[in-house]
Chains A and B, each alone.
Chain A
Amino acid sequence: MVPARLPVVVYAPTPPTAREQRCLDGLEGRVLIAAARSPEQLLEEVSAFLLDVKAVLADPAAPPEPVLAPGIFEGKRVLIVDDDVRNVFALASALEAHGMEVLYAENGVQGIQTLQANPEIDVVLMDVMMPELDGYETMRAIRALPEFSALPILAVTAKAMKEDRDRSIAAGASEWMTKPVNPDELLALIGIWLYPISELEPQVAL
């Protein structure tokens, strides 16, 4: 059951089957069906969609409502691995404002230790440019642990070079972003990864 006011993004990189198309037809107008070929394109489409949702929901008489359904981040735990805590402090405010708990590790080794000590962590934000055990190595090490094979890991790279992106995905990142991280974009991506499509599949009565 999809709550009425929760924006839904269906990511469909390959053409849908007939059955899938019937499900999607039922959702037309309430969801964005994204067929983006790249993360940046996906982010663009989602951001535009969320702005549209905001415009539709806007009603001068009603009190302002948050774009994303309130509470969807409440209590969620995010681990940020970054060798410079100043980057983390700035983001923490935005994430905590939505009720998220922020855990911090300043290097890859501590990141893995923190993850193992806190297995209920919902998403990881991984800086790839760290001295010693870099982000790529750390992600590989995390993915090698079966309990974390499905954990959303968002890699943060310094530049939008194709090699960095490919390297991140190859190392096990679910998604990547470039520095400096925009808090609103980060929240949008976390939202997408916390609520995977499979959990939002409509119940089709046959």
Chain B
Amino acid sequence: MSALFNIEPVSLFVMLFAVTLGKKCIYPIYIYIAMEFLIFGLNLWSVNYLYIWLILAIAAFLMRDVQHPAAWAVLSGGFGLLFGLFCTPVYLIVEGWRYALAWWINGFLADILHCCGNFFIAFFLFVPLRKHFTRLCRDFCKKS
């Protein structure tokens, strides 16, 4: 899906892992992060990636009792909208507040697109996929 700028299923899967695996969701999340580093190399964004998906995972875990698809869409959309903000601490430290602020504002359009993509993907897919993930996890846990 790399051709679709800022449209990604990662947020959906992070939320699904968080609600079905609990604390063990860090394993698939950091395997994903390691794959990103291997494929795309290391850069300043790599530092962002070390903590940014944890934010969503923790929020999803705290919301695990919520069932309504729109609520999950808001969480995922809100995360996409604030993605740039969550990335700015790295640039704040490396380049200073003026650069960090300019960098964040320059990315507003990308964040809005990220929000829209995340919102609709989560709205339509989170609830049905959660049922399947929960069943898969239960079956896997039984066998192991």
Same complex for A and B? Answer: no
Chain B residues within 8 Å of A, Cβ to Cβ? none
Chain A residues within 8 Å of B, Cβ to Cβ? none
